Structure 1
Amino acid sequence: MQTLIAPTPVTLDESWGLDHGTWSVLQKAYPDADIPVVQLSMDVTKDEAWHYELATRLRPLRHEGVLIVGSGNIVHNLRVLKWADDVQPYPWATRFNDYVKQQIRTGNHTALFNVHEQGEDARLSVPSEDHYWPLLYALGCIEPEDRVTFLSDYITFASLGMTSLLIENSAVAE
C-alpha cells in the first residue's frame, strides 16, 4: 500500500486498536474476525479533493481481492439528534442526503468536495468531516464499469444518516 499512495507518507502504527468506524462494521460482517484489516487514518489538514485523489490510488487493491470499506455517514449531526424511534428527519438532512445521492448517481463526485461551502444544509449535515470523508474514499475507488447500488437509505434520530451503498464491478457481479 505504501507504494500505491506514494509520495504520501504512510507508517504502520500498532499502538492502538481499530477505530469504532472500523470495528463496528466489521464485527457484524465478520464476527469471527477472520480477515486481515488495515485501517487508514485520515489527515485532517487536507481537503476533500485530496482525500478523494488518495482513494483513486487505492483502486488497484480491488483487483487483488481487497475489500475497501468507507464507514461513515453522509448526514452525521449528533448535536441535534432526537432520541426517539418515530421522529422524522430534519428537512435539511433529507435535502442534503438526497443531493449527495444524486451526485453519486450521476458520477459527479467533485460536487461533493468543499462540503462546508455548499450551504446551510451541508453545514448542518456535516458539522465535521471525519464521518463524511469515508464516502469520498469509497467513491474514489469507483471504476467506469462499476455499478452503485444503495442498500439502505434512511435517516434515524432526525440527523443520523444510514444510507449505505455497494460498489461492484458490473462485469464480475453478473
Structure 2
Amino acid sequence: MRRLPSLFVSHGSPMMALEPSPVRTFLAGLGVRLPRPRAILVVSAHHDAAWQDGKATVTASPAPPTIHDFGGFPDELFAMRYPAPGDPALAVRIVELFAGHGLAVTADPDRGLDHGAWVPLSLVYPDADVPVVQLSIASNASPEWHYALGQTLAPLRDEGVLIIGSGSMTHNLRALFSARLPIDAPAPAWVTGFTDWLADRMAAGAVDDILGAVERAPHGRDNHSTPDHILPLFVAMGAGGEPFAAERLHASVTYGLLAMDVYAFGGEAAAL
C-alpha cells in the first residue's frame, strides 16, 4: 500500500461548503490527486479536550453524526449532512499507539464530526464513502505536545490512513467580524507577513521556528490570539515523519483575513 502524506487544511468559514472560492475549487480536486485512503483521521480545531488536562479523545462511533457547531448561517448549511461511516477499530488502534508512547487518549463512542472535519471532507471526498474518525487537540497543551502527538500517529500513514490537521493558517475572528470584507478582498500586510514567514520556514525545514510561530513570526499574535486553529498544523507536521518535508499545495485568502493555506508533509508530499 502506498504511503500517504499528512495534510494541513485551512477550513475557514463553514460557508466554504457553499460559496465559490479558490480554496473550495482546490479542495474539490484534491481527492483525485491523493492515493485513496482506507480511512481518514481528522484533528480539528473544533474538537478540543483542554478540559481533560492535556489528554486526547478519539471518536469511536460506527456512524458519527454531522455536528453543526456554528450559528447565524443559512438554513442550507444546517441541512447538510456528511454521512461517512466511522471506524471503531481505527479508534482502538489509535488508543494503542498512544498507550505505547505514554500518552493518554480515550475513545468517545458518541461524538460526531464537527465542521472542521465535514466541511473540507465534503469537498475532498464528496461521496462520504471513506471512514472517518476525529482526534482532539488540547488547547492548553504546547505546540511541542501536539507535534509529538503527530509523531505518534505517523505509522498510520503506512496503514492506509490519511491524517488531516484541520484549522486555519490565520484566525482573528474579532478583526474578521469588525472588517466585514467581501470574500475576494485582498489580504493586508499583517496577514501575508505571517503566512509568508511560515512558508519560508517550512521550505527551510525550521521545525522549531514553526512550532514557535505565534511568538516568533511577524504578527503572530495578531493572527492567532488563541492557539486552537494553528495546533492542528503541528500535529500534521509531526505525522509527516522524518526527515521533515513540507509542500505548500495551496495559498489563498477569503474575506481578506482568513489565509486558506494547504500543506502536505512527508516525502510523498512532493508528488502532489
User: Common fold, TM-score beyond 0.5?
Assistant: yes
Q: Where does the alignment leave 5 or more consecutive residues of structure 2 unmatched?
A: 1-93
How far does the alpha carbon of each residue in 1:134-172 deviate from its partner, in whole angstroms, 9 at most, with x for none? 111111122346753322112221210111122353499
**Identity rate of aligned residues, in percent?**
37
Contact residue 47 and residue 114 of structure 1 kept, 8 A: no
More strand by share: 2
Contact residue 194 and residue 218 of structure 2 kept, 8 A: no
Contact residue 146 and residue 170 of structure 1 kept, 8 A: no
Q: Where does the alignment leave 5 or more consecutive residues of structure 1 unmatched?
A: none
Matched, 1:39 2:134: yes
Counterpart Cα distance in 2 of 1:171 and 1:80:
33
Counterpart Cα distance in 2 of 1:75 and 1:107:
20
Matched, 1:94 2:192: yes
RMSD between superposed Cα atoms in Å: 2.3
State the partner residue of 1:4: 97
How far does the alpha carbon of each residue in 1:68-90 deviate from its partner, in whole angstroms, 9 at most, with x for none? 01111111112112331342212
Pairwise CA distance, 1:14: 2.7
* Selected match of 1:67 from 150, 162, 168: 162
- Superposition map of 1:153-164 within 5 A: 153-164=251-262
Give 1:135's aligned amino acid: L
After the TM superposition, which of the residue ranges 40-49 and 109-118 deviates more from structure 2?
A: 109-118
Give 2:132's aligned amino acid: V
After the TM superposition, which of the residue ranges 75-84 and 140-149 deviates more from structure 2?
A: 140-149
State the partner residue of 2:3: none
Matched, 1:83 2:176: no
Counterpart Cα distance in 2 of 1:171 and 1:100:
17
TM-aligned CA distance change 1:85 to 1:26, over 3 Å: closer
Give 1:27's aligned amino acid: S
- Superposition map of 1:1-174 within 5 A: 1-6=94-99, 7-81=102-176, 82-118=180-216, 121-144=219-242, 148-170=246-268, 173=271
Secondary structure of the residue that 1:68 maps to in structure 2? strand
